[in-house]
Amino acid sequence: MSALLQAAGYLPSVEEPDKEQTLKQMLTWTGIVLVLYFVLGSIDIYGANSAAVEQALNSLQTFQTLLGAQIGSIITLGIGPIVTASIVLQMMVGSELLPWDTNTEEGQQKFQATQKLLAYVLTIVQAFGYVLSGTFGNVTGSPALIFLLAGQISLGGWLIIMMDDLVQKWGFGSGVGLFIAAGVSKQVYVAIISPLTTSGTLYWMVNGNPVGAVFRFATTLEFTSLIPIMS
């Protein structure tokens, strides 16, 4: 176990502030992380098949929301590796497979260090799992494409872990809760007031129907367009 803790020490980590943060500083850091989260969510994975990604989005919408993920972008994994690592370790500690007393400072340090290491490892495992399952298109017989896709997803997953660490030490709460709330808020915005069409173009530029219920009602005057707001 000491080897695991030693390995965890080599992982990238955010230093804790040397003095107590003011409310303004905490809000600033939380806001910076939130902006970075949305920016990363808009960076598409290079080499992914757009049709396959669209199909995955339709079938994994709820899953995406729960994990604060954006399938098809480099943060496809969202908080999945962090949550999975935490659940696995909690089960192992609870069943005494790992004899740690998390009520002590030493036990907490072991738990947190091992959780971070496991989260980084699971990021790679889950990234290859997504790619090999065909989520981003057929990759059979193309090792270079497999590693290209998995590498981008892994990088995004590692950035999410770092951003979670940053929020915990410099901002409010944890990145896990922040990313879930951000994902839900984005979906609410899209469903209600987004002026974009399904192709991502402003509706008045292509004479199409907007996704947002408010703009769709304004263009069609159909009260059924307001159902997403009332439900």
Say if residue 56 is in the same domain as residue 156: yes
d(CA 7, CA 3): 6
Cα atoms in the Cβ-side hemisphere of radius 13 Å centred on 167: 21
pLDDT at residue 61 in the model: 81
User: For 183-196, what is each residue's pLDDT tens digit?
Assistant: 888 777 666 666 55
Burial of 9 (0-12, 13-18, 19+ CB in 10 A): exposed
- Locus of tokens 């003011």: 22
Residue 207: predicted pLDDT: 55
The burial of 73, by beta-carbon neighbours within 10 Å (0-12 exposed, 13-18 middle, 19 or more buried), is given as buried
Would residue 121 count as lying in a domain? yes
- Domain match, 131 and 219 both: no
How many other C-beta atoms can be found within 10 angstroms of the C-beta atom of residue 22? 9
Q: Does the residue 207 lie in any domain?
A: yes
Asked if residue 203 and residue 168 are part of one domain, the reply reads: no
Q: Does the pLDDT at position 226 exceed 90?
A: no
Q: C-alpha dihedral over 129, 135, 136, 139, to 10 degrees?
A: 60
pLDDT tens, position by position, 8-35: 778 888 888 988 889 999 999 999 999 9
- Whether residue 42 is found in the same domain as residue 78: yes
3 within a domain of the structure (yes/no): no
| Tens-digit pLDDT profile for residues 35-53 | 999 999 999 999 999 899 9
What average pLDDT does the segment 196-203 reach?
Answer: 49
Residue numbers of the domain that contains 42 = 22-178
**CA nearest 161: which of 181, 184, 179, 182?**
179
Residues 97-124 as b or e (16 or more Cβ within 10 Å = b) = ebebebeeeeeeebbbbbbbbbbbebbb
Number of domains in the chain: 2
CATH number of residue 62's parent domain: 1.10.3370.10
On whether both 203 and 151 belong to a single domain, the answer is: no
Residue 189 lies in a domain: no
Instruction: Give the tokens for residue 28.
Output: 């600033």
Q: Which long-range contacts (CB under 8 A, 24 or more apart) does 93-97 make?
A: none
* pLDDT for residue 197 is more than 90: no
**Would you list the DSSP string of 151-168?**
HHHHHHHHHHHHHHHHHH
More confident residue, 121 or 212: 121
DSSP 16: P
**What average pLDDT does the segment 128-147 reach?**
93
Please indicate, yes or no, whether residues 170 and 208 belong to a single structural domain of this protein: no
Are 90 and 27 part of one and the same domain? yes
Looking at the fold, whether 203 and 165 belong to one and the same domain comes out as no
